[in-house]
């Protein structure tokens, strides 16, 4: 068994059940390569899954094929973290329920470190399991779609009910007389069948929808604080919309809608050079009535100290060159003053000033080299803009649904 095979299916976003979906993933599943879109070659997807699930825990046994040695991963269906062991790796699994959705984040530690985020959805008939997986590394992220099929699911088809001929034809076949003035029907029965099929299969009428276009900026307010000193890659970020969004005069995204993001980069400044950096990716939006949309968006502006790369959404901490120069200047001046006093006592003031200044400068440089640059700090309540990377489409029914 390849060492990473069992890790690809280790985390899950169980989608909010809607028409044709269920949150019960128990059963046996085989990977359908023809239907999958696998974009990273370094982490090979498991070819076979056996899943057991109850109200407390979900157990996933992943292997290359049915009957091969499997690696078992436990998902605690509660806020508590759970560490799992895989060959050569340790996985820290955390989950959180939001209504009927299970959000999971897994930090993978070993010879290579990365995080996994996935969305699992299963059709209500139980025959198809789709896993949309995002693999996050320091060098970037890759998204793949894995489709699994259940060998136990039986696909049944219902034949259309035969079309009955009109009463006049049945009457003629049974020997009954035609009503006065009625003409015999001479068309064969299959003509009636074709007409009935045409009437019973109308073209589907698309439902009206509202579109929040890609590139739209949505104002958000942070509900938890972030700090590169404590924040790690893979940590969740929770926000709410600070202003409503309208389309053609219709309220589509109310204020206080929930937005969830993920920290994709968090680095502190070095002791001699370099600046701290923080990057956030926005993943999903949930309206107050429970309607959810997924995306992969970046920050367009942040109301905090530091510099923002608008093309990547990367926040960089402030530099300390001016502060470091001031520190060296102060210690140099203090050293020169002390040296002049010592030189005057010894009868050589000039030499004392020079020695004292050099000692003060050395002390200032030591202080600068021993300290880090400023961390990126984003307090709770900070406002920032999210730039949508794709169109968000909402039907009239979804925008008018009442809050449960």
Is the same domain home to 295 and 394?
yes
Range of the domain at 363: 321-369
Is the same domain home to 137 and 281?
no
Model confidence band, residue 133 (pLDDT cutoffs 50, 70, 90) = confident
Model confidence band, residue 327 (pLDDT cutoffs 50, 70, 90) = low
Q: According to the model, what pLDDT value does residue 273 have?
A: 53
Is the same domain home to 267 and 122?
no
Per-residue pLDDT tens over the stretch 202-248: 555 555 789 999 999 999 999 999 998 899 999 999 999 999 999 98
Is the same domain home to 286 and 381?
yes
Is the same domain home to 245 and 335?
no
Is the same domain home to 295 and 345?
no
The span from the CA of 130 to the CA of 307, in Å, is 39
Is the same domain home to 29 and 135?
yes
Dihedral sign of CA atoms 31, 32, 33, 35 in order: negative
Is 325 within the bounds of a domain? yes
> Can you tell me the mean pLDDT for 327-344?
53
**What's the domain count of the chain?**
3
The span from the CA of 20 to the CA of 180, in Å, is 53
Is the same domain home to 38 and 127?
yes
Contact 14, 25 (CB under 8 A): yes
Q: According to the model, what pLDDT value does residue 296 have?
A: 92
Is the same domain home to 275 and 387?
yes
Burial of 163 (0-12, 13-18, 19+ CB in 10 A): middle
Is 202 within the bounds of a domain? no
Is the same domain home to 115 and 248?
no
Per-residue pLDDT tens over the stretch 44-67: 788 898 888 888 888 888 898 888
Write the CA distances from 158 to 3, 140, 295, integer angstroms. Answer: 45, 48, 37
Is 139 within the bounds of a domain? yes
Is the same domain home to 39 and 115?
yes
Examine the fold and report which residue of 149, 178, 194 is the final residue of a domain before the chain moves on: 149
Is 118 within the bounds of a domain? yes
Most confident range (mean pLDDT) of 64-78, 118-132, 229-243, 292-306 is 229-243
- From the centroid of its chain, how far is CA 303? 23
Residue 283 pLDDT > 90, yes or no? Answer: yes
Residue 8 pLDDT > 50, yes or no? Answer: no
Tokens of 368: 């600068």
Is the same domain home to 24 and 112?
yes
105 - beta bridge partners? 94
Examine the fold and report which residue of 149, 172, 193 is the final residue of a domain before the chain moves on: 149
Is 200 within the bounds of a domain? no
Residue 397 pLDDT > 80, yes or no? Answer: yes
The span from the CA of 124 to the CA of 137, in Å, is 34
Is 43 within the bounds of a domain? yes
Is 282 within the bounds of a domain? yes
Is 180 within the bounds of a domain? no
Q: CATH number of the domain that 236 lies in?
A: 2.40.128.260
Q: CATH number of the domain that 91 lies in?
A: 2.40.128.20
């Amino acid at each position: 068994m390849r060492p990473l095979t069992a890790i690809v299916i280790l985390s899950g976003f169980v989608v909010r059940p809607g028409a044709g979906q269920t949150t019960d993933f128990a059963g046996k599943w085989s990977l359908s390569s023809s239907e999958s879109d696998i974009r990273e070659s370094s982490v090979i997807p498991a070819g076979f899954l056996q899943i057991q699930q109850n109200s407390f825990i979900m157990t996933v046994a992943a292997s290359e094929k049915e009957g091969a040695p499997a690696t078992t991963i436990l998902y605690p269906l509660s806020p508590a973290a759970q560490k799992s062991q895989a060959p050569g790796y340790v996985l820290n699994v955390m989950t959180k329920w939001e209504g009927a959705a299970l959000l999971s984040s897994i930090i993978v530690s070993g010879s290579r470190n990365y995080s996994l985020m996935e969305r699992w959805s299963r059709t209500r008939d139980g025959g198809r399991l789709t896993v949309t997986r995002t693999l996050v590394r320091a060098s970037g992220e890759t998204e793949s779609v894995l489709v699994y099929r259940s060998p136990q699911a039986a696909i049944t088809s219902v034949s259309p009910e035969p079309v009955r001929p009109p009463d006049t034809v049945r009457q003629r076949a049974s020997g009954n007389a035609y009503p006065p003035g009625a003409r015999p029907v001479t068309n064969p029965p299959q003509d009636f069948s074709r007409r009935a099929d045409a009437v019973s299969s109308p073209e589907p009428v698309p439902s009206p929808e509202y579109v929040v276009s890609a590139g739209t900026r949505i104002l958000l307010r942070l509900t938890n604080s972030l700090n590169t000193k404590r924040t790690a890659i893979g940590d969740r970020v929770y926000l709410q919309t600070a202003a409503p969004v309208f389309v053609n005069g219709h309220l589509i995204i109310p204020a206080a809608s929930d937005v969830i993001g993920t920290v994709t980069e968090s680095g502190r400044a070095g002791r001699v050079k370099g600046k701290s950096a923080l990057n956030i990716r926005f993943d999903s939006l949930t309206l107050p009535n429970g309607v959810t949309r997924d995306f992969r968006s970046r920050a367009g502006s942040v109301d905090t100290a530091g510099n923002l790369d608008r093309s990547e959404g990367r926040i960089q901490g402030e530099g300390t060159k001016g502060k470091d120069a001031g520190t060296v200047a102060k210690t140099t001046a203090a050293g020169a003053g002390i040296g002049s006093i010592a030189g005057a006592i010894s009868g050589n003031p000039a030499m004392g000033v020079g020695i004292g200044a050099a000692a003060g400068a050395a002390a200032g440089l030591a202080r600068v080299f021993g300290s880090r640059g400023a961390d990126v700090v984003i307090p709770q309540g900070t406002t920032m803009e999210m730039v949508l990377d794709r169109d968000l489409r909402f039907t009239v029914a979804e925008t008018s649904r009442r809050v449960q």
